[in-house]
A and B are shown apart, each in its own frame.
Chain A
């Protein structure tokens, strides 16, 4: 394998792409759709109507700290209670940690790991609070996602799957032109007569598809992250992207899917002699990605970093197998004698 030869072949193919409007369209439009249009259409209205869940800005001075005491009746402000029992009190701007509060009223406070019985909590930040015969009004729940946040995360995950879809679909378009195109144009024969090995040619042609596809995918990831963060941060309270799961998805799984798509499309191209037929059959490679969509939407299991790595490993193995098959398909003799 000579890298300079591979690069020569890849560069030639890429300069051909520049003159093919279908390839340019798919390289430009698809990412714009996925990185800008889809998040805007789906996330913007959602964020407009969603309730914000930023914690209230509550400042409690550390001057008055009560530990393990019992209070019956009274009005408190600017106090921190730890391990206390309170009954019939009114508290404002206080911090409660691991307390039990009965028949009381709590306002503008920070309540954590506490049980509230027959009382009310208003305009407060709450964390792991048990309400027993009590009401919480205008509370901001810390540390765990609200229902709408959960939905938002799922939705972002759904949009993220498109970043695996682009690298699977774009090669279908490009490969149909480069491989089927070269075949129809009979330009492979003189190319095969040069002192270039089959593997170098295959690698060069594959690289010419891989590079622009992944470049476009990764470039569109940046505006996507910015846009999603801009829209979702007010609801969630922090920037949801990039998170580890999707970093693995975009930078490990996506290129693996891209390789798989290229390899499959080379095999398809060797069997059909029509650009459109090649695209139709080749686009079947999106099926595994669609399966991922379905699984993630069904909520069967959540896509965590480990699941993402496991899927990447599996696709990586599939890639090795298909790459081997492709190398067998892409041989001089095969191309000239059997490629139809």
Chain B
């Protein structure tokens, strides 16, 4: 479990992270989304025991990030993919991974096997002896990802794993993350790719120095918008809007072309009434469904509210 209490970090007069309270369960994939400068990297650096909090505390696996001996134990349990891959460009992919595996005390035999498996999974085994400096950005990112996993950490911190990658490379990385998710690792992903967050994460936190909201993507959209039923009709006859508006349990109606967006309290109660009303008025209902608000809407709304 990752737990932070009032975690705060200042750089001089700038507050990078303010009073962060989070609880991330084991096996959960948590997305930390927010614009540039929101304090995502700073948070991850604090959790990886790289920089100290100004105030507040954080525990990983019950260990305190602020106590040096416990920090050392935490660092053995975590894998970090930093914003920049930071590989040794003159060394081969294999040597890069082998070096890290040694630092993490992975025994020699296991090391070879694991590096081979990682590189094969990422499609980089053929290139294992090439110096990393010759690799494309996407390939480097894969090697850096393998590096974070070479000791099979319980906790994985990924700082913008798909940023700056071409669509194909980011797809590989994303698919790989989906595989990792199945392995039951606790994964903390910093991203401003909302698509990734929605697809990969069990829960997301929206960050902008302070944590603005946290929950599953669905919970987040529910927080701002009630349920909206979308009714598609062959065409909307005059009076239909007014009739639906006056139904009990309907809080608002909007027309979008030949579709009606109906804000409702409890869809189970109200949706049948809507259908009946429209059919009675001679409407031809083509389909009826629930409007999904994406994470993007949540994000824009949250950050828009702050401005």
Which of A's residues lie within 8 Å of B, judged by CB?
Answer: 5, 8-9, 12, 15-16, 19-20, 185-197, 332-333, 336-337
What 7 new A-B contacts, CB under 8 Å, besides A16-B91, A19-B91?
Answer: A185-B86, A188-B86, A192-B50, A193-B49, A195-B76, A196-B103, A336-B45
A187-B88 CB under 8 A given contacts A193-B75, A196-B103, A337-B11:
yes
From B49, B95, B103, name the one whose CB has the most chain A CB atoms within 10 angstroms: B103
Question: Closest 3 CB pairs between A and B?
Answer: A187-B86, A186-B84, A19-B90
Contacts of A9 in B (CB 8 A): 103
Q: Of B49, B76, B90, which is within 8 A of A16 by CB?
A: B90
Q: What would 15 A/B residue contacts be, using CB atoms closer than 8 Å?
A: A16-B90, A19-B90, A189-B82, A189-B86, A190-B81, A190-B147, A190-B148, A191-B103, A193-B48, A193-B49, A193-B50, A193-B78, A194-B75, A195-B73, A336-B50
**Is B80 touching A193 in the complex (CB atoms < 8 A)?**
yes
For A11, give the chain B residue with the smallest CB separation. B99
**Is A194 touching B103 in the complex (CB atoms < 8 A)?**
yes
For A333, give the chain B residue with the smallest CB separation. B51
Contacts of A332 in B (CB 8 A): 49-51
**Is A16 touching B88 in the complex (CB atoms < 8 A)?**
yes
B125 at the interface (CB under 8 A from A): no
Q: How far is the CB of B114 from chain A (nearest CB, A)?
A: 16
For B151, give the chain A residue with the smallest CB separation. A194
B212 at the interface (CB under 8 A from A): no
* Binary flags per residue of B223-246, CB closer than 8 Å to A gives 1, else 0: 000000000000000000000000
**Is B144 touching A197 in the complex (CB atoms < 8 A)?**
no
How many of chain B's residues have a CB under 8 angstroms from any CB in A? 35
Contacts of A12 in B (CB 8 A): 88, 91, 95, 99
Contacts of B100 in A (CB 8 A): 190, 194
Q: How far, in angstroms, from A189 to B81 measured CA to CA in the complex?
A: 9
Which of B's residues lie within 8 Å of A, judged by CB?
Answer: 11, 45, 48-52, 72-73, 75-76, 78, 80-91, 95, 99-100, 102-105, 131, 144, 147-148
Contacts of B81 in A (CB 8 A): 190
**Is B144 touching A195 in the complex (CB atoms < 8 A)?**
no
A197-B72 CB under 8 A given contacts A190-B82, A190-B147:
yes
Contacts of B87 in A (CB 8 A): 185, 187
For B95, give the chain A residue with the smallest CB separation. A15
Q: How far is the CB of B276 from chain A (nearest CB, A)?
A: 61
Q: How far, in angstroms, from A5 to B104 measured CA to CA in the complex?
A: 9
Q: How far, in angstroms, from A333 to B48 measured CA to CA in the complex?
A: 12
**Is B90 touching A8 in the complex (CB atoms < 8 A)?**
no
**Is A194 touching B91 in the complex (CB atoms < 8 A)?**
no
**Is B91 touching A15 in the complex (CB atoms < 8 A)?**
yes
Q: Of B51, B89, B102, B144, which is within 8 A of A190 by CB?
A: B144
Q: How far is the CB of A168 from chain B (nearest CB, A)?
A: 26
Contacts of B82 in A (CB 8 A): 186, 189-190, 193
Q: How far, in angstroms, from A194 to B147 measured CA to CA in the complex?
A: 11
From A12, A188, A190, A337, name the one whose CB has the most chain B CB atoms within 10 angstroms: A190
Q: How far is the CB of A235 from chain B (nearest CB, A)?
A: 48
Q: How far, in angstroms, from A333 to B11 measured CA to CA in the complex?
A: 12
**Is B51 touching A5 in the complex (CB atoms < 8 A)?**
no
**Is B86 touching A8 in the complex (CB atoms < 8 A)?**
no
Q: How far is the CB of B26 from chain A (nearest CB, A)?
A: 20
For A334, give the chain B residue with the smallest CB separation. B51
Q: How far, in angstroms, from A270 to B268 measured CA to CA in the complex?
A: 65
Q: Of B52, B72, B88, B103, which is within 8 A of A333 by CB?
A: B52
Q: How far, in angstroms, from A196 to B104 measured CA to CA in the complex?
A: 8
Q: How far, in angstroms, from A15 to B96 measured CA to CA in the complex?
A: 11
For A196, give the chain B residue with the smallest CB separation. B103
From A9, A194, A197, name the one whose CB has the most chain B CB atoms within 10 angstroms: A194
For B147, give the chain A residue with the smallest CB separation. A190
Q: How far, in angstroms, from A131 to B73 measured CA to CA in the complex?
A: 83
**Is B86 touching A194 in the complex (CB atoms < 8 A)?**
no
Q: How far is the CB of B72 from chain A (nearest CB, A)?
A: 5
**Is B80 touching A190 in the complex (CB atoms < 8 A)?**
yes
Q: How far, in angstroms, from A196 to B71 measured CA to CA in the complex?
A: 10
Q: How far, in angstroms, from A221 to B44 measured CA to CA in the complex?
A: 51
**Is B86 touching A186 in the complex (CB atoms < 8 A)?**
yes
Contacts of B131 in A (CB 8 A): 19
Q: How far is the CB of B2 from chain A (nearest CB, A)?
A: 15
Q: Of A5, A20, A336, which is within 8 A of B103 by CB?
A: A5
Q: How far is the CB of A177 from chain B (nearest CB, A)?
A: 10
For B99, give the chain A residue with the smallest CB separation. A12
Q: How far, in angstroms, from A337 to B52 measured CA to CA in the complex?
A: 10
**Is A337 touching B75 in the complex (CB atoms < 8 A)?**
no
Contacts of A15 in B (CB 8 A): 91, 95
Q: How far, in angstroms, from A204 to B82 measured CA to CA in the complex?
A: 22
Contacts of B89 in A (CB 8 A): 185
Q: How far, in angstroms, from A195 to B91 measured CA to CA in the complex?
A: 22
For A18, give the chain B residue with the smallest CB separation. B90
Q: How far is the CB of B227 from chain A (nearest CB, A)?
A: 44
Contacts of A188 in B (CB 8 A): 86
Q: How far, in angstroms, from A18 to B50 measured CA to CA in the complex?
A: 30
Q: How far, in angstroms, from A20 to B89 measured CA to CA in the complex?
A: 11
Q: How far is the CB of A5 from chain B (nearest CB, A)?
A: 7
Contacts of B49 in A (CB 8 A): 193, 332
